[in-house]
Structure 1
């Protein structure tokens, strides 16, 4: 049959990204303990298209994704996925975004009861011919914050709220951080972590811990920035923190982006 995609195009426009998006597939994500977690992933996979060609072969993207959906995926496998699609389509560049819910095992602080916290996660990768994989890990983790101003001026307590912190982090080649480790680092920067399951003794603990550790949204963001600076091999990171305010009809928000190479040795040691 006639291959229309390989027909010549005379408009002289190369396309940087062409492929498939909003592909829902079951995927296996490697865990820190050496196992894997089965997730429902929403995927975008693209390659570059030279100006000489009319179109790409969409079916090959789905073929590659279907094959890799049966293999546990982490940093190294992302490079293999992109190499695979580049080889099949004779491309010089490939990009992939894998968005999924990842479940973290949590134990209540006093009772020790186990539950699972769902977090939005992103694996994003770019591969150029002859280069290393550029990999970005994205993670959103909920937290509790307690208002320092409210605590200072109130006789009976202080208002607190649930917030959400989002991190995107890009490591240099040869470096990697597990989802579990990044989540633990992020949770420590709030007034208190969020737990899906709490008994009365646990609720007492988290209420008092937040009260003893009041933080504005700015405090949470700055502490998170300092923690990320201490990670090895980080090229850049983005941070967003948002408090879902309990006494206002609006949210409190802060954001920051940083190239770590621009940080001085004195700042890094803080």
Structure 2
């Protein structure tokens, strides 16, 4: 049968990324403790397309990804996926994004009751033929923040809100920061962590802890910058912090990106 994708195109436009998006597959993510967590991943896999080709072979993307269903995935496996897709499509550049929910057990601060909290995570990687994987790990962590200004000017009480920290990190060669460790570093920078299960004694604790530790969104971001600068194995990071304000119809937002030497 005629292969239309391999026919020539005369418009002279190269495409930087072409491939498949919103591919849902079960994958296995290795935990810090040596086990594996089964996740439902949403995947985007792309390659570059030279200007002389009409199209790419979409089925080959699914073929490559299907071979990894229910297999452990980390930066090394992502490198192999990109090597495979570069070879099969004879491309020069490839990129992959793997988004998934990752669950970590949380223990309530006073009652000690365990429960599971979900975190939005992403593994991203790009690669050129003959090159090395450029791997980035991203984690979003919810937190509680209490407004320092509200506490200062009020006779009693202070407004607080839930926020989210979004951090992406790039590792130095030979280094790796576990999702669990990055989550711990991030949660320590808010006024108080978020817990999925709280009894009355726990609710009293987190309310008072946040009140004793007021932070603007700028404070949260700056404290995150300082702790990531001190974390071994990180060569680059990007931070977004957002407070979903309880007394405004808008969010407070802060952003920072840094290359470490």
Same fold (TM over 0.5): yes
Which residue is 2:181 aligned to?
181
User: If the length of structure 2 is used for normalisation, what is the TM-score?
Assistant: 0.95
SS of structure 2 residue aligned to 1:68: coil
Q: How does 1:54-133 map to 2 (within 5 A)?
A: 54-133=54-133
Which residue is 1:135 aligned to?
135
SS of structure 2 residue aligned to 1:112: coil
Confirm or deny: 8 A CA contact 1:24 1:43 kept in the other structure.
yes
Which residue is 1:264 aligned to?
none
More displaced 10-residue stretch of structure 1: 120-129 or 44-53: 44-53
- Superposed CA deviations along residues 232-259 of structure 1, whole A, max 9, x for unmatched, are 2323211111111122222211111112
Which residue is 1:41 aligned to?
41
In 1, Cα distance between equivalents of 2:11 and 2:99: 34
RMSD: 1.4
SS of structure 1 residue aligned to 2:205: helix
Confirm or deny: 8 A CA contact 1:132 1:173 kept in the other structure.
no
Confirm or deny: 8 A CA contact 2:9 2:52 kept in the other structure.
yes
Give unpaired runs (5+ residues) of structure 2: none
In 1, Cα distance between equivalents of 2:78 and 2:238: 21
In 2, Cα distance between equivalents of 1:222 and 1:173: 26
Confirm or deny: 8 A CA contact 2:38 2:70 kept in the other structure.
no
Confirm or deny: 8 A CA contact 2:187 2:193 kept in the other structure.
yes
Report deviation, 1:195: 0.2
Q: How does 1:1-270 map to 2 (within 5 A)?
A: 1-261=1-261
User: If the length of structure 1 is used for normalisation, what is the TM-score?
Assistant: 0.92
Report deviation, 1:45: 0.2
Give unpaired runs (5+ residues) of structure 1: 262-270
- Superposed CA deviations along residues 185-207 of structure 1, whole A, max 9, x for unmatched, are 00000011000001111111111
- Superposed CA deviations along residues 6-56 of structure 1, whole A, max 9, x for unmatched, are 223333333221111111222221211111111121111011222332221
Confirm or deny: 8 A CA contact 1:108 1:202 kept in the other structure.
yes
In 2, Cα distance between equivalents of 1:230 and 1:97: 27
SS of structure 2 residue aligned to 1:5: helix
In 2, Cα distance between equivalents of 1:39 and 1:118: 11
Confirm or deny: 8 A CA contact 1:45 1:94 kept in the other structure.
yes
In 1, Cα distance between equivalents of 2:212 and 2:110: 17
Q: Which runs of 4+ in 1 moved over 6 A?
A: none
SS of structure 1 residue aligned to 2:237: strand
SS of structure 2 residue aligned to 1:2: coil
SS of structure 2 residue aligned to 1:25: strand
In 2, Cα distance between equivalents of 1:168 and 1:53: 34
In 2, Cα distance between equivalents of 1:81 and 1:181: 26
Report deviation, 1:126: 0.3
